[in-house]
Every structure is written in C-alpha cells, then in structure tokens.
Structure 1
Amino acid sequence: MMLRALLLSLLVSAAPLGFAYAKTYALVVGVDAYPYEVSLDGAVKDATDVEGALRRAGIDQMATFFDAAARKDDIRAAWTGFVDAAGEGDTIIFTYAGHGAQMPELVAGDEADGLDEFLQLPGFDRNRAVETDHEIIVDNELNAWFSEAEAKGVHVLFVSDSCHSGGMSRAFSGKTRLAQAVTVKLSPPSQEAVSGAQVKEAQFRQVTVLAASLESQPSPEVIIGGEARGALSWSFARAVEGSADRNEDGRISRIELEDYVFANVKHQSEALQIPNFTPQVPRSEDEVVMPLTRSVAGAADPSAQKTKTHRPVRETGWDGKLALTVSGSQMVLESTGGSGVPYRWDAASGVFYTPNGDVAGENVNEGNIQVVVNKFILLDFLKAMASQNPGTVSLTPQRDIYAAGDRLAFDAPGSGYKNMIVFNLANTGEVQLLDVQAEGTESREFKLTDLQVVEPFGADHLIAISTNEPIDAIGAALASKNVDASTLLQLLMTRIDGTDTSVAIQPLYTREKL
C-alpha cells in the first residue's frame, strides 16, 4: 500500500500544477415551463442530461436550476459563489437550455444591429416587460459576469442551447427556442448591463462561448432517441462523457470539442443548424476548454494505458426498429414498432416524413416502403456509431435544403485510417456506392465536384466510413450493386460495430424549384 501511495504521489506531482489541482464548477439551467410564453418540450431533458454527464466526468461542484427554480437572483448568486471559490486555472462551465430572444439595445450604439440578446427565464412576461425585466439575463450582463471570472484567471465555458433570430427553409413541425422579440425600450435592468456593454468579446482571453446556432438561424428542438431535444445539449453531453477526448488525455481541447460538436449537431439535427463558437478560431492548438477530473491520475502519466472503448451500437440504446405511423395502407412492415416520436408514411400521397416533419421521400408506395424503412434503421445505426467517433464531410454551398437544378460539391477528407467507404443512402432507400479505398497507409480525400439536384426529391444521406478493420467484403457487396440497406446493416454490424471506426454523415434534403 505504501508503494502504491508513493507511486500515485509521484504521478500527481509530475503533472502540471494547473492541471493536477484545477477545479471545475458547473452551473446548469434548463427551462421548459414558461407561464407567459410557449413552453418547450426538451430543455429540461437537455439540462438533466448535461448534469448527469458532468457528474460522470467527475464534477461535483454544481448548481442546477430547472423550470420555476430558474430565477435570476439565485443563478447570479450561484455564479458569484463559484467565482469567489475559484482560483487561477480553475474552470466554470455554464450551460443554458431554454428560450432566447431579442430586444432594443439597452446602451445606445452598443450593438451593430441595434438589438440585445437575452436568456428568458420563466418569470419574465413581455406584456409586463418593465415590471418583470429582472427575470431576463442580457448579453451585456453575461459579459460582466464573465469578466469577473477572467479577472481571477478562471476559465469560462458557456454553452447556450437557445436562439435569437432567423428562419429555416425546410418544413419543420417541432418547436424552436426563439421567444417573441420585446419591442418596448427598457431601461437597463442592472448596472451590469451598462458596464458589460463596455466589454467586447475580443477582449476575453479565457472565455469560450458555444451557441446552438448562428444568429441568422433558429435553434429547433429535434427528435433524438424518440424525444424532443436540443442537438447542441445532446452533443455536448456526449462530448463530456469522453467521446470528444480523442487523444484520451483527460482533457477536452477546444479543437476536440469543436470537431465533435459540429459533426454531431449536423447528424442529430439533420443539418438544420450550425453551432457557433466564440472566438471562431482556437487561441492555440492545445487550448483546453474543459478538464475531465475523473482522469487526472491517468492523464498525469503519459504511459498510462488508454481506456477509451467503442461500444457496440445496441449498448447505446439502438434496437433495430423504427417508430412509424401509417395512413392509407394495411401493409405489415418488418422492423417497425420502435418507441418515441414516429416517422410517418401517407400511402395515399406517397410522402414519407421524418419525426421532425421533413419530407424524407416522395412516391413511396407499398412496393418500396420497406426499403425506405430499412434505410432509416441503418441511418440510426450509423448515427449511433458517429456519436462515439464522428468523421467530417461537407457540402458546398452549405444550405439546409437544395432545389432542383442546384449544383453542389461533396468532400470527404482523408483520415488517419487505412480504409474508407463512401456511399449514398438515397431517399428511395437505395444504397449507391461512391468510393472504396482499401489497405492504404492512409485514406485519400474523396470529392464529387459537380453534383446536380434531380428528382426524386427528399432526403439523401452521404456517408463516409473510415476504419482500420478489413473492408473487402463490405466493398465487394456494395460494388455488386445488389446490396440493400438491410444487408449493409448486417455487414457493418458483424465487421465494424464496436471497433475504432469513424462515421461521417451529410444529410442532403432536396425539393422542386420554387
């Protein structure tokens, strides 16, 4: 026992002091129930998911505020307590899931668009804005709060799963975290709103802000695992659980968090939103935004064995079934009956809808409906793999929906893996092989430079799988042009499920030209 204690002592003393002894505090806010506003469905689920992930990461200095408990004075007091307790090199994580909104700027000339953004707490009533303005947190006030931490050398990571403005081109049946704008001019609700206006984002050196979307986009609640959720909160929770820690050093760098979150928000929102980091460019290649304190001992020893594992997809909750409602047909379909918000097939019109309300396929009839169902079962499997190890692919130009005749380019960058398979899951359910790269020292970039949108319209999904596992059998099956989504699923389950494999997914939604 004495030898073990001595070795542990040496390991900790060998670690950089700021890492070995740094503390992390977390303030988590989630609001669904708005007495004076349209309530949300998934914000509290998001907040509790993030809370659980943070606790599993080893963070026990935490304050949580859900629904009616989310009062500004109490949140402010918790923030002040953390700043007072924290020292140089410590980290405060502040996450918010709920409504965001805009109002006329409180300090003249402070905002380029003349509008301040704010987090809307349950006690705010825009019909009594002057009387209840103490229950909003304005962006300027957040600047003042963050400045307090920065002055002590405390790192701040603020994750805001809310939205402020903009519109979407695609049909969408869910809720957005965008409250109606306040139109009356309010007096500054606090002195902090005035002092914070003097602080510009560029002045921060230890503050990182991760927002659910650009200001030109709303943040929708999307269906993940059958439930309404925020794609940013879901992705952040998975990142904190360790999925973003690619080099397994017990810390999540800004680059690791960015790569993980960008990919999974795209996957889970079906390309409806793009997260926004501030600053846009990492301050350094090794900038750390969050330590995973459970891993201090292992991270202090460079020779410590890596413990990250890749779970089989069934262990993530995937069950190989699709929740589906059918109207206009009595056909019995295989592998349906899953739980949660369902896909929908209207046999009379031939339209197949996603749980989010998007048109996923047209001209879907009894002859091809099973093939379409099989496609989305496979897609859910691939999303579950991607949540553990996401890859990168892109479409240019970047849009949430493309019209007939539009031209675009698809890019699947090379990776550090030996093998890569690129294919398309068409809206018809067909599997279309695009490229196979087997047994190289490193996969090469794959490009399609002049794609054109043509009928049939709906949702295609371009997939890139990168792995060091043998892929000859998978490639041969795809090259035969006889493999369908169900067969491909079985090939992937028996050959790469649970392995160190990267999956990238690029949704491609199309429609007729308006």
Structure 2
Amino acid sequence: MRTLRGFDRRTGWLCAALLFAALIGLPLQPAHAAAELSISNPDGAALRALVIGIDDYQHVRKLKGAVADANDIVSSLRTMGVSDVVELTNAQADRASVLREISSLVERTKNNDLVFLSIAGHGTQEPERIKGSEPDGMENVFLLPEFATTPSGSVERILGSEFNHFIRQFELRGARVIFVADTCHGGGMVRDIDPRAAEMSFRQVPRYTLLVDELKPVSSSDDPKSELDLDHTAFIAAVDRHTKAPEVRIPGIDGLRGALSYAVARAVEGNADINHDGKVTLKELFSNVRQVVYQLSDQRQNIVTVSSPAQMPETEVAFELTRGVVLIQGTAARAASGQVATVASAEKQNPAPPAVTAKSQTAPTSAAATAPAAPSAALPPFRLTTPIRLAALDGKMGYFTSVKPQDASVQAVQPTDNPDLIWDPVSHDVIAWGDVVAYGVDVGGLTTVVNRTAAIRELKRMATQSPQLMRIWPDDRQQRSGQTVEVELSDVGSRAVLLFNVSGDGTIQMLYPVGSDAAMARSANLRLPLRVGEPFGAEQIVAVTSQQRMVDLETVLMQLNRRRASGQVIKSLERYLPADARIASIGFFSVP
C-alpha cells in the first residue's frame, strides 16, 4: 500500500474497458534544427485559412484572449509556410466582412485544397431552425462584436448552420476542411469555482430572447442537415454543449488565452506528429489537442472532436510536415524538446489491501535503490523569471513581506489584479484559479506554496510541449474524503514509467516504481486507483515515460521523496529527461 499525500494508492492493473478516445502523446517541435519546419497539404494542393478572433464586444461582456488566439494561429500558419491566410479581429469581424471573406475563400478554393477555419469568441445557443438538426433542439451561434438583442443588433451573429453551408461549398469544390471553434455554448462547469477566487472569463453569454430577429441566414437546398452530413470535414470544439470554456493562463505568456487555440497553434507547428513520420493524422491531431487543453485548463475543459463518417481518423492525414535536413541530435536538442511521459502500476495477483492514511505509511523502498546513484553535486536552484502574483483576500499587502521563495520572485497585488494565488487571512486557505490548493497555511508556509506554484507552472509548460495521455475518472470534480478516483493512462506498453506527486505544500512523493514494481510497464493501458484522504487541497500527479529505464531520474526522485523540493524536481527533469520522454501533469482537487 502506498500513499499519495491526500490519497491512498491501491496497486493493481485494471485494463480500461472503454477509453473516451484513443489518445497518444505528442512531441514538441525541436528547437535545434538545420532547417525550418513547414506544413503542407497531403494532397499536394494549396492550404488556405480564415481566422477570426473577437474580444471587443460592444453590448455583451468583453473577452481577454480571443484576439491573441487568432494572432497566434495566424503566426503559426504563416511561419509554417501558409501564404493564403486571412485574419479578422474585433471590429473587422462584422457580419458583412465575415460573409465577404468566407465567400471569397470559397471562390479561391480548388480541388484537393485544405481549408482551415477558426473562430475564437463568444458563443451561445438558440432554438434550431432546421428541425431535427441538433440532438437537444438547440443550434450553436457565434456572436460578432456589435451583437445586441435589438433588431439591428440581431444581425451581428453567425449561425452554426451558416458555417455548415459554407463548409459544404468548400467540399463541393473538392476541398477538405478543419474547423476550430474556441467558444462555448453551454452554461455548466466541470468543477465549481471557489467564491473567494478572482472572477474568471468564459466564452459564453447567457441565452437571450430576440423579440425582432432581422437575421436572414445564408442557405441553399444542398446544405447539410448537421455536421455528420458533411463528407470531408473535421470539427474541434473547445467544450461540449453543456459546459463553459474558460480563458486560461498559459505558462510563460502574459494575459489570458483560449486553451484550444493555443493547442491548435502548437499542433500546427509540429507538436502533433507523435511518431515523427512527417504525417499528422486526424487521430494524432485530436489526441494532442485534447490532452494539451485538458492540462492547461486544470482539467476544466474536455474538447469535442467530430470527423465526417467517411473519414478514418487513424489513417486520414490532416496535414504533412517537411524539413530540408535531418534534425541536429544531442544534449541541447534533447533539453530543448522537454518531452512528456505516462504512468503504470505493477501487476499483482492478490487484491489490494484496505486504504490507509498518509500518516500511517513509512517511506517506501524502490527498485531504484539498487541502481547507480545520481551525481551527488547539488543542482542549482530552479527559478522562474516571471514573478508569482500573490494577493490577500482583504486586499492588504503587508502580510507578504516575509515571503521569500527560492524558485520565483513574488509580486504582491490586489485580488482583482489577476493573481496566481489568493490567500485568505481568516481561514488561511490558498486559492489558485478557482481551486483551493492548500488549507490552513499561515504566512510562514506561503513560501513553500509559492515555490510549488512556480514548479507546477513549469511542469505545465513541459507537459504541454509533449503531452502523455492521463485522465481522471469518474470525473474531474472536487473529490471528498473516502472517495475513490482513478488515474487512467494509455500507450505505456513496454515503456519505463516514473510516477510522482507534488502535494499542495510542495512535498514530493514517489509513487512508482516502489518496492517490487516492474520498471517497465506490462500493458498499454492502466488505471491507478486512489482514495481521497487528508490533507486536502491540490495534488499534482506527474508521469514520465521513456523506452529506456530512467535510472538517474528515478534515483533523484527517490532521494527527494517526502521532501519539499518542487524546484529540485524541475531541475532534475531538465537534466535527466531522455530524448523520447513524455510527461503528463494532472491535478487532483480534494475537499474535506
């Protein structure tokens, strides 16, 4: 029996009966190469794009990251060699301009072209106009900057059926389409927001009633009844029809962004080519983007992917990647690629013993104990250049004069100034982006929480660059004492696995391999059962896998076991990650 601080681990292989999707990890585009990477159409024809981003709404709540999303995707496409790219942002994206540009794009499109459509902004739902076109009778709608519930303002929106109309026109010209919708249409949340947290930004407005609707939809007799009636189109949506898409913080980037747009931009740059064959299949694209969004959103977003019935995602090539010469190999290239991993649990013949609390456990021994020791020289301290923004719930900044973290500087801000951490001086709870990450932390303990926040930010960056599939079942809601949840991992067969936890106060806990655990995973898929217990707050589960046993990294993790050493873990990962490593970084959030 091993304990994941706040959870009890019960060993045993449990093959997943069903996976939400057969996801696989994706590699980071290498930073060291002798020639630039470019994207191409597998059919040899042109690649064209229309990208829309709207923050500056005039009559509904403004957004903060949709224009940056559009700029990012456009920059990625152009950097990757796509020349026919049209971008519309804010006031440029009125209805007349959107219809004009998409109609012009249809006219330019030729047989076998690949058309990329992307929109980031507010979404909502309205009763369907085509009876039976939607499973719940509601149609997705995309709002434009001047939308209002007045007669004239009602025109400034695009119906989902209108996008389908234009997609059909692309298909009739022999083109394939990838449509990315970084909006949301439902009103729920995967996990509740702590009421003390700073206000979050969502890409959804409440449903409304139009007393006078002057919109005259674009349509024709051969329009598809639904997305499933299209033939050569792949859809990627930020969330399902029942949840909201938050604007998130991306490690190393100022301001807020859409996790889906950010993931798509990185996939376009080459991160989605998991097997390095220069061909990104729809399965690879969907899998990469899904895992990146899941991790960047702290498990609040689960994207939706839909491909036409005639398409086979496993073999259908979304786009190809070309490079003039072979990549430069070596230490620098491996360090730059910061790749990602997965986790496993040893196969046991006997049932797992009853769960126990963390305090009743002794430090486990590991197979790594017989491996060669890691270098004894102390690693230089890990340190982020961007400060951790710390606020007190009552707005007073004097509390933090004694907070002197080693891994990042601290900037005291007001709770309304987009803080990374909010400390409640009454309960001493620490809140990060709507979740309580630690309960009952006095001022003296904030240093370790700040250090941990800096480390988690870096872990997210590394896991985003080359993610390994890892999911939480049955869901990603706050977990309560005594509940059992499972971490599910896939595509780990015949790979070496390391699994550890970074608790809310920065304590490192080695989870696998421990004791007699096999160093190499014995199955492609597994579920790791965990039982919720004290202390409550945030737990960051990190998995690293490689085709070879990571002896040095394994030894260092055992040396750091049960120590508050989150910064040292980051430094060790930077030093010892093998070139083919994959990383997954998933948070648990528990409450008493």
Give the TM-score category using the shorter length: 0.7 to 0.9
Counterpart of 2:376 in structure 1 is none
Task: Say whether residues 1:145 and 2:166 are aligned partners.
Answer: yes
1:448-487 equivalence runs, <5 A: 448-449=528-529, 451-468=530-547, 471-480=550-559, 481-483=561-563, 484-487=565-568
* 3-state DSSP of counterpart to 2:584: strand
Counterpart of 2:66 in structure 1 is 43
Counterpart of 2:215 in structure 1 is 189
Give 1:185 deviation, angstroms. 6.2
Report if the CA contact (8 A) 1:223-1:341 is conserved: no
Q: What 5-or-longer segments of structure 2 have no aligned partner?
A: 1-39, 339-382, 393-398, 412-417
AA at the equivalent of 1:242: G
Higher mean Cα deviation, 58-67 or 417-426? Answer: 417-426
Identity %: 27
1:494 to 552, 572, 575: 575
Counterpart of 1:224 in structure 2 is 250
Report if the CA contact (8 A) 1:404-1:511 is conserved: yes
Counterpart of 1:390 in structure 2 is 467
Higher mean Cα deviation, 173-182 or 331-340? Answer: 331-340
Task: Say whether residues 1:342 and 2:425 are aligned partners.
Answer: no
Counterpart of 2:282 in structure 1 is 254
1:54-102 deviations in whole A, cap 9, x for unaligned?
1111111011101001012222222222222222211110111100012
Residues of 1 paired with 2:88 and 2:386: CA distance?
35
1:283 to 312, 325, 344: 312
Higher mean Cα deviation, 333-342 or 381-390? Answer: 333-342
Residues of 1 paired with 2:212 and 2:135: CA distance?
18
Report if the CA contact (8 A) 1:140-1:194 is conserved: no
Counterpart of 2:346 in structure 1 is none
Report if the CA contact (8 A) 1:465-1:502 is conserved: yes
Return the TM-score normalized by structure 2.
0.75
1:139-196 deviations in whole A, cap 9, x for unaligned?
1111111111111220111101101112113216211100121223665833535758
Counterpart of 1:179 in structure 2 is 205
Counterpart of 2:371 in structure 1 is none
Higher mean Cα deviation, 426-435 or 412-421? Answer: 412-421
Change (3 A) 1:162 1:232: same
Residues of 1 paired with 2:496 and 2:462: CA distance?
16
Report if the CA contact (8 A) 1:144-1:195 is conserved: no
Give 1:110 deviation, angstroms. 4.0
Change (3 A) 1:415 1:320: farther
Residues of 2 paired with 1:98 and 1:462: CA distance?
32
1:95 to 118, 134, 142: 118
Residues of 1 paired with 2:306 and 2:489: CA distance?
26
AA at the equivalent of 2:556: A
Report if the CA contact (8 A) 2:540-2:588 is conserved: yes
Give 1:402 deviation, angstroms. 2.2
Counterpart of 2:351 in structure 1 is none
1:298-317 equivalence runs, <5 A: 305=326, 312=336
Change (3 A) 1:97 1:311: farther
Report if the CA contact (8 A) 1:419-1:440 is conserved: yes
Give 1:219 deviation, angstroms. 0.6
1:437-474 deviations in whole A, cap 9, x for unaligned?
7864978655423x222232222111111124652233
* 3-state DSSP of counterpart to 2:88: strand
AA at the equivalent of 1:319: L
2:508 to 431, 452, 455: 431
* 3-state DSSP of counterpart to 2:235: strand
2:590 to 506, 510, 514: 510
2:183 to 142, 162, 187: 162
Change (3 A) 1:363 1:194: farther
Return the TM-score normalized by structure 1.
0.85
Give 1:279 deviation, angstroms. 3.0
Change (3 A) 1:482 1:404: closer
1:358-407 deviations in whole A, cap 9, x for unaligned?
22111222453333222222222222221221101122102232233322
* 3-state DSSP of counterpart to 2:500: strand
1:312-391 equivalence runs, <5 A: 312=336, 319=384, 322-327=387-392, 328-334=399-405, 335-337=407-409, 341-354=419-432, 356-391=433-468
Residues of 1 paired with 2:547 and 2:456: CA distance?
21
Counterpart of 1:136 in structure 2 is 157
1:300-328 deviations in whole A, cap 9, x for unaligned?
xxxx73579555389xxx93654131543
Task: Say whether residues 1:83 and 2:106 are aligned partners.
Answer: yes
Report if the CA contact (8 A) 2:154-2:213 is conserved: no
Report if the CA contact (8 A) 1:438-1:472 is conserved: no
Residues of 1 paired with 2:274 and 2:509: CA distance?
31
* 3-state DSSP of counterpart to 1:256: helix
Residues of 2 paired with 1:244 and 1:474: CA distance?
26
Give 1:201 deviation, angstroms. 1.8
AA at the equivalent of 1:345: W
Residues of 1 paired with 2:403 and 2:69: CA distance?
35
* 3-state DSSP of counterpart to 2:498: strand
Report if the CA contact (8 A) 1:212-1:273 is conserved: yes
Residues of 1 paired with 2:474 and 2:210: CA distance?
38
Higher mean Cα deviation, 421-430 or 60-69? Answer: 421-430
Change (3 A) 1:438 1:487: farther
* 3-state DSSP of counterpart to 2:115: strand
1:270 to 255, 280, 298: 298
* 3-state DSSP of counterpart to 1:504: strand
Report if the CA contact (8 A) 1:106-1:187 is conserved: no
Residues of 2 paired with 1:365 and 1:491: CA distance?
29
1:474-508 deviations in whole A, cap 9, x for unaligned?
323333434421222222222128x3320012221
* 3-state DSSP of counterpart to 2:55: coil
Higher mean Cα deviation, 44-53 or 175-184? Answer: 175-184
AA at the equivalent of 2:296: Q
* 3-state DSSP of counterpart to 2:188: coil
1:205 to 197, 220, 231: 231
Residues of 2 paired with 1:458 and 1:99: CA distance?
32
Change (3 A) 1:34 1:230: same
Report if the CA contact (8 A) 1:106-1:188 is conserved: no
Change (3 A) 1:359 1:440: closer
Task: Say whether residues 1:215 and 2:207 are aligned partners.
Answer: no
AA at the equivalent of 2:141: F
* 3-state DSSP of counterpart to 2:218: helix
Give 1:415 deviation, angstroms. 2.5
Residues of 1 paired with 2:419 and 2:335: CA distance?
25
* 3-state DSSP of counterpart to 2:42: helix
